[in-house]
């Protein structure tokens, strides 16, 4: 008896299982929408309010769906025109029947793009029993309808509605329906004074996709937004009716062709600043136009602000930067009065005096920070820890005695003047090898005022491969073969330096033409550089490109104060990393703009220098990945089941080659037009395309423009400059030799695809 009772209690539960399987079976064969997700994985339900703008949405379909990519134009996203409602463009007509029938026409496409579609009606005797003829004009927005007036075969309201909805081209543009009256009513009797019938009434905006496509499973449609979404009501629409309905590869139509799907959601983002106007000009009724020199106007979007917070001066620090990259000399000024006007979404900030006369502020740049009370006084913020990536160090050993040495930090305090030609330092690595480094200031050419230069004065510059003679010319006549530098004699030294630099650049010589100040031009560090000033006595030369210690590594600096400590630190770091010792590394990755520290790896000691000092155990963030030493968790740790096992993964399978560590090496052959580099986490991607003919394979790709003549170093510079545009790359730094160090957002990687990157 007990056994029988136990069996009976399980029957209802088993029946529930059978019912669930039956529901799943009914979904097979026809595309059915299972759910919509935003890029953070959250399901999107009807009426949801989002506080963070999604960058993409994913439409998930049933297990047996195989979405036809050719039908993706059936998926649209609309932004409400400000009224929170969605209306397609539409029109109705009685066709001259005096109200006996009423036929409605509606655009298939949502949004204002449907406004202006016209139905142009005519009538004629077709001499047969055919229905009305339907033709879509070549402009793609006009439907031509010719009614049949043949006796006994006159076009009726129902015949017209069916003819439009059954025509492939017309039904892709509009749909027709009978609102009122008998479908058998003859609509050809009346004079045609109602044509054309124009659709109107939609103020909704169609959101343009940056990318839309079907993923590898063929069950997901990914829609990525081209631009950031703003506060408004949005509608996701999937068409299941008409000729442009979503369909499967086998021809099955979404929702069996019986209806369309829509889902509405609203974005309620934080208040956005739309404009900042310093020292605004306003119109005073009595005084006319007046400039408020002690005032800043801040315009917000239409979000209502908390008045007590909006008028808190602590949220509006005005920071005077002293035109330096350090924050140690910042001056902070809070407004003395803050007024918020909700009606105009305007905050008026008034300061103690005119902005250019604030105490302690001379010539320089102001930065207005809004919304965070980070500056309570003029105390400066500390530098952030140096981020140190270990992926180029190699095997870090397995014992304390043989571990790779880190923790030494070189703090550069001297500028380019302190890093004098011929001075330097020696680094001794932990393996005992000593590497000398020597500062090289290159060559500086001093140009005088134009009045001190005589016509026909000339000078010669060579780069080791060719020599060019440059001749100053005030009468439009130069010696054959010389490059003319036209001048009048009234130019300042700075103006003359600009003229000489322009001529140098145009000459094709492999030299720099960096104009410094006071008439100085830095010619660079080319070891083949030669300068002959015999015939230009007003010009002078400073420095050369010869090292005192020919065995030393060159540290390229400019011996001027404008080449600051941070610039010197960059030069030292580049020289160390270019030395070719994989155990000896320097890192400048992730530091603040004014931070002149260098993290050293594999260093035992550094000789003393007036340019810098070496500290131990400063703050470091040591960064690496589990795969840096050849350990690949994707193969070393097997998954507990097959990839296609139900419930095994909640995200799509990633198919890529992971770039080891956080360093990229540009291939020796460089890049070709159309080569693709992708920064992705498997769900979201930024795609870069090398382009030298102004043509992209996909308009959503980010172009990297190049000429096709670049060297390996130049390709690395181009790629390093472009990668941060993805938003997932904190920084990309060309370390020399075509090696680029990259700091990425967590879970992202760089995929070189077929470029050998």
Q: What is the DSSP string of 642-658?
A: -TTSTTS-SSPPP---P
Q: Residue 646: its pLDDT value, please?
A: 55
CA dihedral 204, 207, 213, 215 (to 10 degrees): -90
Query: pLDDT value at position 11?
Result: 40
Class of residue 602 by CB neighbours under 10 A (exposed 0-12, middle 13-18, buried 19+): buried
- CA-to-CA distance for 236 and 37, rounded, in angstroms? 12
Give the pLDDT of residue 724.
83
Is 454's pLDDT higher than 90? yes
Instruction: Say what the pLDDT of residue 658 is.
Output: 34
* pLDDT score of 45 more than 80: yes
**Average pLDDT over the chain, rounded to whole?**
81
The stretch 220-238 carries a mean pLDDT of 90
Q: What angle do CA 666, 386, 382 make, to 5 degrees?
A: 140
Average pLDDT on 704-728 reads 88
Residue 17's pLDDT band, with cuts at 50, 70 and 90, is very low
The string over 566-580, giving b where at least 16 C-beta atoms fall within 10 Å of a residue's C-beta and e elsewhere, is bbbbbbbbbbbbebe
CA distances to 64, 116, 199, 505 from 75, rounded to whole Å, are: 19, 22, 22, 53
* Of 98 and 498, the one with more pLDDT: 498
pLDDT for the residue 327? 64
pLDDT band at 647 (very low <50, low <70, confident <90, very high): low
pLDDT of residue 339: 93
pLDDT given for residue 360 in this prediction: 61
Q: Residues 6 or more apart from 45 whose CB is under 8 A from it?
A: 263, 265
Percent of the chain at pLDDT exceeding 90: 32
Percent of the chain's residues with pLDDT above 70 = 82
Lowest mean pLDDT among 151-155, 706-710, 718-722, 747-751: 747-751
Separation between Cα atoms, residue 149 and residue 434, nearest integer Å: 102
Domain 2-85+205-267 has CATH 2.60.40.1220: yes
Question: Minimal CA–CA distance to 625: which of 502, 481, 747, 542?
Answer: 747
Residue 148: pLDDT band by 50, 70, 90 thresholds? Answer: very high
pLDDT at 387 (0 to 100):
55
pLDDT tens, 158-178? Answer: 999 999 988 888 888 888 999
Q: Where are the alpha helices (DSSP H) in 225-327?
A: 307-310
Query: DSSP alpha helices (H): ranges in 209-260?
Result: none
Instruction: Verify cis geometry, omega within 30 degrees of 0, for the bond prior to 749.
Output: no
Helix (H) or strand (E) holding 136: strand 133-136
Rounded distance between C-alpha atoms, residue 747 and residue 685, angstroms: 12
Mean pLDDT of 683-701: 85
SS3 494: helix
Which structure tokens are listed for 251?
């021809």
Q: How far apart are the first and last CA of the chain?
A: 73
CB atoms within 10 A of CB 23: 8
Residue 386's pLDDT is 54
Spatial distance between the Cα atoms of 741 and 389, rounded to a whole number of angstroms: 8
Q: Identify the three-state secondary structure at position 624.
A: coil
Between 398 and 262, the higher pLDDT residue: 262
555: confidence class by pLDDT, cuts 50, 70, 90 = very high
pLDDT score, position 162: 92
For the cut 60, the answer to whether the pLDDT of residue 590 exceeds it is no
Mention every residue, 6+ apart, whose C-beta is less than 8 A from residue 421. Answer: 439, 440, 441, 543, 544, 559
Give the pLDDT band (50/70/90) at residue 485: very high
Please give the pLDDT value at position 245: 86
| pLDDT band of 665, cuts 50, 70, 90 | confident
What is the C-alpha separation between 545 and 554, in angstroms, rounded? 10
Q: What is the mean pLDDT of residues 184-210?
A: 89
User: pLDDT confidence of 406, banded at 50, 70, 90?
Assistant: low
**Of 38-52, 488-502, 594-608, 716-730, where does the model show the most confidence?**
488-502
Model pLDDT, residue 499: 96
pTM, 2 dp: 0.41
pLDDT of residue 641: 56
State the pLDDT at residue 561.
86
Residue 478 near residue 464, CB atoms below 8 Å: no
Mean pLDDT on 682-701? 84
Residue 645 scores a pLDDT above 80: no
pLDDT of the residue at 332:
82
Which of 111, 105, 181, 96 has its CA nearest to residue 143? 105
Give the lowest-confidence range in 215-229, 565-579, 636-650, 657-671: 636-650
| pLDDT at res. 448 | 95
Residue 449: pLDDT band (50, 70, 90) is: very high
Q: Which residue reads 């136990």 in tokens? A: 6
pLDDT computed for residue 398 by the predictor: 53
pLDDT band at 643 (very low <50, low <70, confident <90, very high): low
For residues 326-346, give the mean pLDDT. Answer: 83
Nearest to 38 by CA among 24, 21, 55, 51: 55
pLDDT of residue 40: 81
Q: What pLDDT score does 374 carry?
A: 57
How confident is the model over 106-133, as pLDDT tens digits? 988 888 888 889 999 999 999 998 889 9
Q: Please determine, for residue 620, whether its predicted confidence score (pLDDT) is greater than 80.
A: no
């Amino acid at each position: 008896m007990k056994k029988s009772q136990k069996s009976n209690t399980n029957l209802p539960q088993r029946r529930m299982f059978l019912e669930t399987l039956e529901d799943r079976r009914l979904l097979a064969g026809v595309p059915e929408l299972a759910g919509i997700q935003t890029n953070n994985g959250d399901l999107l339900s009807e009426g949801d309010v989002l506080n963070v703008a999604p960058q993409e949405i994913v439409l998930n379909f049933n297990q047996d769906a195989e979405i036809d990519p050719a039908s993706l134009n059936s998926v649209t996203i609309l932004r409400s025109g400000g009224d929170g409602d969605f209306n397609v463009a539409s029109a109705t007509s009685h066709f001259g029947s005096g109200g006996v029938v009423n036929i409605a026409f509606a655009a298939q496409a949502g949004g204002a793009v449907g406004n202006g579609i016209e139905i142009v009606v005519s009538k004629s005797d077709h001499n047969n029993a055919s229905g009305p003829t339907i033709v879509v004009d070549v402009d793609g927005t006009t439907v031509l309808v010719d009614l049949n007036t043949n006796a006994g075969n006159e076009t009726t309201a129902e015949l017209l509605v069916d003819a439009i909805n059954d025509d492939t081209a017309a039904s892709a543009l509009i749909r027709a329906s009978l609102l009122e009256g008998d479908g058998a009513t003859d609509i050809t009797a009346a004079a045609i004074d109602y044509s054309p019938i124009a659709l109107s009434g939609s103020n909704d905006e169609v959101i343009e996709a940056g990318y839309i496509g079907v993923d590898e499973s063929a069950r997901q449609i990914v829609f990525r937004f081209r631009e950031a979404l703003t506060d408004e009501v949005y509608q996701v629409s999937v068409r299941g009716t008409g000729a442009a309905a979503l369909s499967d590869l086998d021809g099955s139509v979404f929702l069996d062709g019986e209806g369309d799907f829509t889902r509405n959601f609203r974005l309620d983002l934080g208040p956005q600043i739309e404009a900042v106007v310093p020292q605004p000009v306003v119109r005073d009724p009595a005084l006319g136009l007046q400039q408020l020199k002690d005032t800043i106007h801040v315009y917000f979007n239409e979000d209502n602000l908390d008045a007590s917070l909006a008028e808190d001066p602590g949220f509006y620090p005005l920071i005077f930067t002293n035109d330096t990259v350090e924050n140690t000399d910042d001056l902070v000024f809070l407004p003395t009065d803050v007024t918020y006007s909700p009606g105009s979404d305007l905050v008026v900030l008034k300061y103690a005096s005119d902005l250019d006369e604030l105490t302690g502020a001379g010539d320089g740049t102001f930065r207005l920070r809004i919304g965070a009370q980070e500056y309570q006084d003029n105390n400066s913020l500390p530098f952030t820890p140096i981020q140190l990536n270990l992926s180029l160090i190699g095997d870090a050993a397995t014992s304390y005695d043989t571990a790779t040495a880190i923790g030494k930090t070189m703090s550069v305090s001297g500028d380019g003047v302190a890093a004098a030609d011929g001075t330097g330092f020696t680094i001794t690595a932990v393996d005992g090898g000593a590497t000398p480094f020597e500062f090289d200031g290159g060559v500086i050419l001093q140009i005088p005022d134009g009045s001190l230069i005589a016509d026909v004065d000339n000078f010669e510059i060579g780069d080791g491969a060719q020599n060019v003679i440059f001749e100053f010319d005030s009468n439009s006549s130069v010696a054959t073969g010389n490059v003319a530098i036209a001048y009048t004699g009234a130019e300042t030294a700075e103006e003359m330096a600009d003229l000489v630099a322009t001529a140098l650049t145009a000459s094709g010589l492999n030299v720099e033409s960096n104009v410094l100040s006071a008439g100085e031009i830095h010619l660079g560090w080319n070891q083949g550089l030669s300068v002959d000033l015999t015939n230009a006595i007003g010009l002078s030369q400073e420095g050369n490109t010869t090292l005192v210690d020919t065995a030393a590594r060159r540290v390229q600096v400019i011996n001027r104060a404008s080449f600051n400590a941070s610039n010197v630190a960059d030069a030292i770091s580049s020289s160390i990393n270019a030395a070719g010792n994989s155990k000896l590394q320097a890192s400048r990755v992730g530091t603040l703009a004014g931070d002149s520290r260098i993290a050293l790896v594999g260093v035992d000691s550094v000789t003393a220098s007036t340019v810098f000092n070496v500290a131990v155990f400063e703050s470091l963030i040591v960064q690496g990945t589990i795969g840096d030493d050849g350990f690949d968790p994707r193969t070393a740790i097997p998954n507990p089941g097959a990839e296609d096992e139900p419930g095994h993964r909640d995200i799509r399978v990633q198919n890529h080659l992971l770039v080891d560590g956080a360093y990229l090496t540009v291939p020796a052959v460089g890049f070709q037009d159309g080569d693709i580099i992708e920064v992705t986490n498997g769900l979201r991607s930024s795609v870069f395309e090398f382009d030298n003919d102004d043509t992209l394979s996909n308009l959503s790709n980010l172009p990297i423009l190049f000429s096709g003549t670049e060297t390996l170093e130049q390709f690395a510079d181009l790629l390093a400059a472009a990668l941060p545009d993805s938003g997932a790359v904190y920084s990309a730094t060309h370390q020399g030799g075509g090696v680029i160090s990259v700091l990425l957002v967590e879970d992202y990687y760089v995929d070189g695809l077929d470029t050998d990157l």
